[in-house]
Every structure is written in structure tokens, then in C-alpha cells.
Amino acid sequence: MPLKLPDCYTFAALQPPEHARIRSDRTRRAAYALPLVQAATGLVGAGVLAALAGGPAAAGFLAGAAVVAAGFAIFGWRTAGQSPVAPAGRMFARLLVGVVLKWLVIGAGVALAMASAALPEGFVLAGALAAFLAYMLSLPWLLR
């Protein structure tokens, strides 16, 4: 009589669960789609402001939203754009480097938009705020 192993020692039991593969794909898709949603929010807001307040206000709003979208794109590239299978220390380092790069891009971009490009400060900050609100409202929908 052959020896029968329990089900927990079969080849199928050693494979990653199905939900783990789906989750990383959803996360990667959301990391790539989120900056597009933020940029679209900036374009819509700039279009409305171009009709109401003029060109410099619309350019400032678009610059603020584009800077935040660029920061989130770099964060997504550093975290979800890399291989999902890595040691915990490397994954944590990716997360920290991604957060630092995101805030460096956002801080430098907003400062340059307000100082060097001489765009209206209030509209640059309003564009950045609109992009952050787009992040807060669209991320749960993107992760579905």
C-alpha cells in the first residue's frame, strides 16, 4: 500500500494563494492610474479657471496638480513598479525611498512653480490640494 501524503504537502499547496497575485496586480494598476487621475483633475480645474480667472491662474492650478501627480508617479514606480517578491528589508527601503522622493519632488516642484515661474501662489496650492483630494477620493475606487 503506497504512502499517501496529506493535502498540505502537495505541489498546489506550495503555490501562492490566488488572492495574493490579484492584489499585487490591483496595487500596480492603481499606482499607475492614480497620477493619471490627478493630472486629469488638474486639467479639468485649469480649464474651468481659464474660463473664469484667466491664463496665469489656470497655469498655476495645472502646475500644482502636475507636481503632485509627478510625486505620486515616482512613489508608485519605487514601490509597486518593482518586483513584488523581495525580502522585507528591501521592501521597507523601497517604501521609505519612495516617500522621500515623492515629498522632495512635490516640495521642490511647488516651490519652483511659485518662485521661479512666478505663478500665483494660491492657485498653485489649490491645484496641489485638488490633486491630493483626487488621491483621497479615487484610491479606494482604483483598488477595487
Q: Where are the domains of the chain?
A: 21-142
Q: Give the per-residue pLDDT at 19.
A: 54
Name the average pLDDT for the chain. Answer: 86
The answer on pLDDT for 22 being more than 60 is no
Task: Pull the grid cell for residue 61.
Answer: 492650478
Q: Give how far the C-alpha of residue 27 lies from the chain's centroid of Cα atoms, to the nearest Å.
A: 10
Closest to 59 (Cα-Cα) out of 132, 2, 113: 113
Stretch among 40-49, 56-65, 66-75, 135-144 having the lowest mean pLDDT: 135-144
pLDDT (average), residues 105-131: 95
User: Whole-structure pTM over 0.75, yes or no?
Assistant: yes
The answer on pLDDT for 119 being more than 60 is yes
